[in-house]
């Protein structure tokens, strides 16, 4: 935000006053608070970024909407679709925008993929597959508390925390997911949330009624890290990673084109620039509360198959 024209980071808040003061001093922020209501109602603050765990997104978002201020909330948007809908209604009533930090919709590397798809480089999309797995987090092996694996705080486990990014991105690239089913279980017993998830789905019909299907696998205690997406079309396919800094691969008629597009130093740079663009009236932001609720709905349906 500090590096985006039009924005000034006016105030920060943390419950620990000493840490809030230290952060403000290190980042040249004029004002700090240890009370969220004080920051939200500061007349010098026009917009609020909520970067807390999901269990408090609804609470703070409703306060921001009541104050009539612009808001950006971290992903996933909230604990469930009911909370997301309540947030969307509050900001619609207040007449101010609600943005959600699905920043991959704004990154140049994924805009390149969207351009390939929109111009028909791989023909009609038939199927997309995403396989993601990684070794156990060392913190979880110790048995220490971790909000990301506490369903009461996070709405689920690492699937909700990480897969939300990719599922939202796939809907941005290929359209809404209209039917989905999944299976989720806790194989390892390291924490309360699921650690192994599989799903299959279909997208809304595209032009001429064509329907693409999708499938995914996510596991959080394997022998190493995998993050591979393949979009298969009638003329070719696209391969990429959601999280890794890897090249994009476009294959058409057996010929592969490889492009590496570096992420910005601050991963939300383009996302924040797009917030500024909408506020100025230049262009709508690609990630709003209206789009983000769909990712939460898809994950809810997948996790309904908990075993």
- Residues 248-295 have pLDDT tens digits of 999 999 999 999 999 999 999 999 999 999 999 999 999 999 999 999
Q: What is the DSSP string of the chain?
A: -TTSTT----EEE-SSHHHHHHHHHHTT-SEEES-HHHHHT-TT--EEEE-S-GGGHHHHHHHHHHTT-EEEEPSS-SSSHHHHHHHHHHHHHHT--EEE--GGGG-HHHHHHHHHHHTTTT-SEEEEEEEEE-PPPHHHHHT---GGG-HHHHSSSHIIIIIHHHHHHHHHHH--EEEEEEEEE-SS-SSSS--EEEEEEEEPP-GGG---EEEEEEESSSSS-EEEEEEEESSEEEEE-SSS---EEEEETTEEEEE--PPPSSTTHHHHHHHHHHHHTSS--S-BHHHHHHHHHHHHHHHTTB-
Whole-prediction pTM: 0.96
Residues 48-104 have pLDDT tens digits of: 999 999 999 999 999 999 999 999 999 999 999 999 999 999 999 999 999 999 999
Task: Please report which confidence band the pLDDT of residue 208 belongs to, taking 50, 70 and 90 as the band edges.
Answer: confident
Q: What is the mean pLDDT of the chain?
A: 96
Using a pLDDT cut of 90, give the percent of the chain over it.
97
pLDDT of amino acid 307: 63
pLDDT confidence tier of residue 206, bands split at 50, 70 and 90? confident
């Amino acid at each position: 935000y500090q590096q985006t024209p039009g924005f000034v980071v006016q105030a920060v808040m943390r419950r620990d006053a000493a840490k809030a003061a230290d952060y403000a001093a290190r980042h040249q922020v004029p004002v700090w608070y240890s009370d969220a209501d004080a920051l939200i109602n500061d007349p010098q603050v026009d917009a609020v970024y909520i970067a807390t765990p999901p269990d408090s997104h609804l609470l703070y978002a409703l306060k921001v909407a009541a104050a009539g201020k612009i808001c950006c909330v971290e992903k996933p948007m909230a604990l469930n679709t009911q909370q997301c809908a309540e947030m969307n209604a509050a900001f619609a009533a207040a007449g101010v925008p609600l943005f959600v930090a699905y920043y991959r919709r704004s990154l140049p590397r994924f805009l390149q993929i969207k351009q390939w798809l929109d111009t028909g480089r791989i023909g009609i999309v038939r199927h997309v597959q995403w396989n993601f797995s990684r070794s156990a987090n060392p913190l979880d092996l110790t048995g220490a508390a971790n909000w990301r694996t506490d369903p009461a705080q996070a709405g689920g486990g690492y699937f909700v925390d990480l897969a939300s990014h990719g599922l939202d991105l796939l809907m941005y690239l290929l359209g809404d997911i209209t039917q989905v089913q999944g299976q989720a279980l806790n194989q390892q017993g390291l924490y309360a949330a699921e650690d192994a998830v599989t799903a299959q789905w279909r997208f809304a019909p595209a032009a001429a009624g064509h329907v693409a299907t999708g499938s995914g696998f996510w596991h959080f205690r394997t022998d190493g890290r995998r993050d591979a997406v393949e979009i298969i079309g009638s003329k070719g396919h696209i391969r990429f990673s959601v999280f890794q800094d890897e090249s994009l691969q476009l294959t058409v008629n057996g010929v592969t084109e490889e492009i590496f597009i570096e992420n910005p130093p601050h991963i939300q740079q383009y996302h924040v620039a797009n917030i500024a663009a909408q506020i100025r009236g230049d262009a709508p932001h690609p990630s709003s509360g209206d789009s983000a609720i769909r990712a939460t709905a898809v994950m809810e349906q997948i996790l309904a198959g908990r075993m």
